[in-house]
Chains A and B, each alone.
Chain A
Amino acid sequence: MAEDLVRVTEQGLYCQAGDFYIDPWRSVKRALITHGHSDHARSGSASYLSHTDSRGILRLRLGEEAKIETIDYGLPITIKDAIVSFHPAGHILGSSQIRIEHKGQICVVSGDYKTQRDPSCQAIEPVRCHTFITESTFGLPIYRFPSPEIIAAEVNQWWQANANEGKVSILYAYSLGKAQRLLMSVDPSIGPIYTHGAVEALNAVYRGCGVKLPATTYVGDVKKEDIGRNALVVAPPNAQDSLWARKFGKSSDAFASGWMRVRGARRRRSLDRGFVMSDHADWQGLTETIAATGAERVLVTHGYTPPLVRYLTDLGLDAHALETAFTGEEGSDKLDADKETTTENEAGTLQ
């Protein structure tokens, strides 16, 4: 069998034909970036290429010095011996699948993706290919996500009920992507919306790309007593149980994540509510997308890799696990952590 167009090296996913890396976890000469989450976009490489809408996010993540080039969806370019193009992945703003063609062989690296509707970014477009490198964060059939409309209604109901009881609603969500998606699905007529510093910084980037977010106020800019009891506060998960979260007094807290589908995960968080909403594909989204690519060879990365590989093998596909350093919808996002120290100080104005 011919060698794969993309293989795993110590530095990351490497394409020899084009002599570039995709989402490398070590410093390299040339990095192609699927999207701005911290496990996919790491600093230290000499040059970066990403989708146009990822520029602002990468700037925040990689610093002023980083050399970032951008490209629009669907535009083929030649890098050494490879033809490369970016295609929407539906995961977050600017998220891309990267298509690589060399000597008639086509390989697509999915990055992270989802099939659910998301008003804050462009919908996924499956790309025909021979080899598909897919994520598998929610690669078990127990992960079946309700429609975003149902979840939006649940969130609004929860917010409204809290407002009626005079409780501030604190909604924990990853600051990049999930937060903006939620902001676009809540009903701003219920009350004012406040944000944690990490979320507000990314809101600015989204607005800069023309995404129509509702009005939000950074909590650091207001006094504690000015925050109405009918407020919604959107914050990254690592703000939970911090000094920061306790400033709001009587409140109800919730977490929006695909993991909230399972009771044990909901209870471990010890939050008042868990909303089942993810920016990753559920089992059906994964299997349908894989089928739509028409790929005969599927390489599965971060997530429930073994069951998805076995399932695809049972279907007659040439499926294998690929060990990478991506983490999926786990832990918290590094951008959130970076902001945490400043937020402790900022929160001082709340007292």
Chain B
Amino acid sequence: MRTFVELYQTVDRTTKTGEKSDALVSYFQQASSSDASWAVFFLTGRKLRRLAPTALLKQLTIELSGLAPWLFQECYDNVGDLAETMALLLPESSAGLDVDLTEFVERYLLVLRNLDDSDTAAHLVETWAKLSLDQKFIFNKLITGGFRVGVSQQMVTKALATVSGIDPNVVAHRMMGNWEPSAQWYEQLIAAETADAMASTPYPFYLAYPIQEEVDSLGDIKDFQIEWKWDGIRAQVIKRDGQVFIWSRGEELISERFPEIMTAASRLPNGTVLDGEILAWSEGDVMPFALLQQRIGRKTVGKKLLSEVPCIFMAYDILETAGQDIRQEPMVARRQKLLSILMPGQCDAAPSCRGTLSEHLRISAELSADSWQALTVLRQDSRKLKVEGIMLKRRDSVYGVGRKRGDWWKWKINPLSMDAVLVYAQRGHGRRASLYSDYTFAVWHDGQLVPVAKAYSGLTDEEMKSVDDYVRKNTLEKFGPVRTVKPGLVFEIAFEGIQKSPRHKSGIAVRFPRIARLRPDKPIEEADTLAQLHEMLEVYGK
């Protein structure tokens, strides 16, 4: 437990990747297999189910600290994080527990699974009394399911590869999927002999890099395979040993949510792994992402939803065929194999995609453009086709791991944007807990400002501080953590899409709003109007 807390603190303190990696390596070098398996579990963002109800945690903290409930709430608002607030307010205790991570998890965390509320309360009080401040923080984070560490999956993978001497790709592959931490699992993870991977195990996803410079700086357009960038759920479809598995990029097994894709994929030959995008699809056209979200939201899908929001798998790569890992073959060869498996005896011809083995299993079509100019023109159809833009994949590229610069590029369409006025501000969470960093923006309608979007990302720390300062000096009203702000600041808000929404006062909802920049040059009178947004809705909202 102590070494794990130290690891957490080292990683939490520094922003330097090198120091984080060193800390990971030295942790795994000394940890027992069992402890290491739990460390991998937590470090890669896997979570135990919430182990204690929030209301109970708050109530216990209030009782043990002897504070009035309003004062507890005041502290919570200020810190912005429940686990930390509790740790700071609970009575100070001894030097802390001296047990290893496995014992800590089993004796103090997992045991909570089988306790009722009153036993849970007794267990928590007893445990807190034994923990140091730092241990309390991590314990609280784990029981609330909010434990996050500032390391990427790739960093953990690399550290494990360094410690074990195994190829990082193999480590990444073995780490995917569902597994229970145990000494045995960890030993298998770093074992030199490749034990047969479980039939369900997906490959790590390979991610594209956003184009930031001019697109023609990429070189000759003929070196690239061009596709639409589909706006759905990235997924792998696996058929092995007569079984089908669908994995999301979040490494969640989502097979049961898409029965029509399961049925279609059952026709694939054994030993096939496809990479692609799940899309809500009707009559040859993508349906709005909001509809797809309804499908993700349900563990089991009813008949009605199934017929209202049918889904397809738009395949664009093949990672395994006849049980062979072919990720090291060039893109162009993989594309041929993809075609021959999904469309035996045919060739690529249709404009955007086409039916194959099943109408629920399609191939993302190759687009043709002779020049970057021609592609720029083609890309302008993106919004109309409800795609996010263009994908560019080097024809000679292998299927890598994680996000790498150079081979795969995404060239997104410019987002929609509006100039809107800051009207409400709220304190942020975590790192931004003491700053007013969550904003609500409004546009003009009949001489009034109507809220249309909430956004919190996009400003530099410095800009955020200046906005925070403005908010504090121009507060009209406070209710709870929210302040009504005197209109005075205009922001350019970028967003990905716009939809009708009867739930909102403005009648519209924008998708993925974010702050593009501050517009200190604009007086508030020149912010956009609701009428302008409704025009956008006419053009892009259908």
Q: Could you tell me which A residues sit within 8 Å of B by CB distance? A: 140-142, 144, 261-268, 270, 272-273, 307, 310-311, 314
Contact = CB atoms under 8 A, between A and B. Distances in A.
Contacts of A267: 12, 431
Contact of A307 (B13, B71, B79, B137): B71
Interface string B440-472: 000000000000000000000100000000000
B432 A272 contact: no
Contacts of A144: 88, 92
B75 A142 contact: yes
Interface of B: 12-15, 65, 67-68, 70-71, 74-75, 78-81, 84-85, 88-89, 92, 137, 430-434, 461
A272 B14 contact: yes
20 contacts: A140-B78, A141-B67, A141-B88, A142-B79, A144-B88, A144-B92, A262-B78, A262-B79, A262-B88, A264-B79, A264-B81, A264-B431, A267-B12, A267-B431, A268-B431, A268-B432, A272-B13, A273-B13, A311-B68, A314-B68
A267 B433 CA distance: 11
Nearest to B76: A142
A262 B75 CA distance: 11
A261 B79 CA distance: 10
Contacts of B137: 263
B468 to A, nearest CB: 11
| Chain A to chain B: the 6 pairs with minimum beta-carbon distance, closest first | A264-B433, A142-B88, A307-B74, A142-B75, A267-B431, A264-B431
A141 B75 contact: yes
A263 B461 contact: no
A268 B461 contact: yes
Contact of B70 (A265, A268, A273, A310): A310
A251 B434 CA distance: 28
A268 B68 CA distance: 30
Contacts of B88: 141-142, 144, 261-262
B74 A270 contact: no
A141 B433 contact: no
A242 B15 CA distance: 18
Given A264-B431, A264-B434, 10 more contacts: A141-B75, A141-B89, A142-B79, A142-B89, A263-B430, A264-B80, A268-B432, A268-B461, A272-B14, A311-B68
A141 B79 contact: no
B15 A140 contact: no
A80 to B, nearest CB: 37
A272 B75 CA distance: 26
Given A140-B74, A141-B67, A307-B71, A263 B84 contact: yes
Chain B interface helix/strand/loop/mixed: helix
A335 to B, nearest CB: 23
B25 to A, nearest CB: 16
B60 to A, nearest CB: 16
Contacts of A261: 88
Given A142-B88, A272-B13, A273-B13, A264 B74 contact: no
A310 B68 CA distance: 11
A68 B146 CA distance: 56
A279 to B, nearest CB: 20
Contacts of B68: 311, 314
Nearest to B78: A140
A311 B15 CA distance: 39
A281 B15 CA distance: 31
A190 B432 CA distance: 36
Nearest to A142: B88
A262 B433 contact: yes
Contacts of B85: 142
B434 A141 contact: no
B156 to A, nearest CB: 21
A273 B10 CA distance: 9
Contacts of B12: 263, 267
A167 to B, nearest CB: 11
Nearest to B66: A141
| Residue among B12, B65, B78, B85 with the highest chain A CB neighbour number at 10 A | B78
B123 to A, nearest CB: 24
A142 B90 CA distance: 9
Contacts of A142: 75, 78-79, 85, 88-89
Given A141-B71, A142-B75, A270-B15, A264 B89 contact: no
A265 B435 CA distance: 10
A141 B88 CA distance: 8
B434 A265 contact: yes
A264 B430 contact: yes
Contacts of B430: 263-264
Contacts of B65: 141
Contacts of B79: 142, 262, 264
B68 to A, nearest CB: 7
B5 to A, nearest CB: 14
A286 to B, nearest CB: 13
Contact of B75 (A140, A265, A273): A140
Point out which of B13, B80, B92, B461 has the most chain A C-beta atoms below 10 A from its C-beta: B13
A15 B270 CA distance: 90
Contacts of A270: 15
A23 B411 CA distance: 60
B375 to A, nearest CB: 40
Nearest to B9: A273
Contacts of A264: 79-81, 430-434
A168 B21 CA distance: 22
A275 to B, nearest CB: 12
B348 to A, nearest CB: 50
B461 to A, nearest CB: 7
Nearest to A263: B84
A312 to B, nearest CB: 12
Contacts of A265: 434
A311 B71 contact: yes
Nearest to A271: B13
Nearest to B430: A264
A311 B92 CA distance: 21
B148 to A, nearest CB: 12
Nearest to B19: A272
B283 to A, nearest CB: 50
Contacts of B15: 270
A273 B9 CA distance: 10
Contacts of A314: 68
Contacts of A311: 68, 71
Contacts of A310: 70-71
Contacts of A272: 13-14
Contacts of B84: 262-263
A62 B451 CA distance: 50
A262 B430 CA distance: 10
Which residue, B12, B74, B80, has most C-beta atoms of chain A within 10 A?
Answer: B74
B229 to A, nearest CB: 34
A140 B74 CA distance: 8
Contacts of A273: 13
Contacts of B92: 144
A140 to B, nearest CB: 6
A144 B90 CA distance: 11
A251 B84 CA distance: 29
B46 to A, nearest CB: 22
A145 to B, nearest CB: 11
A140 B78 CA distance: 9
Given A144-B88, A268-B431, A272-B14, A263 B81 contact: yes
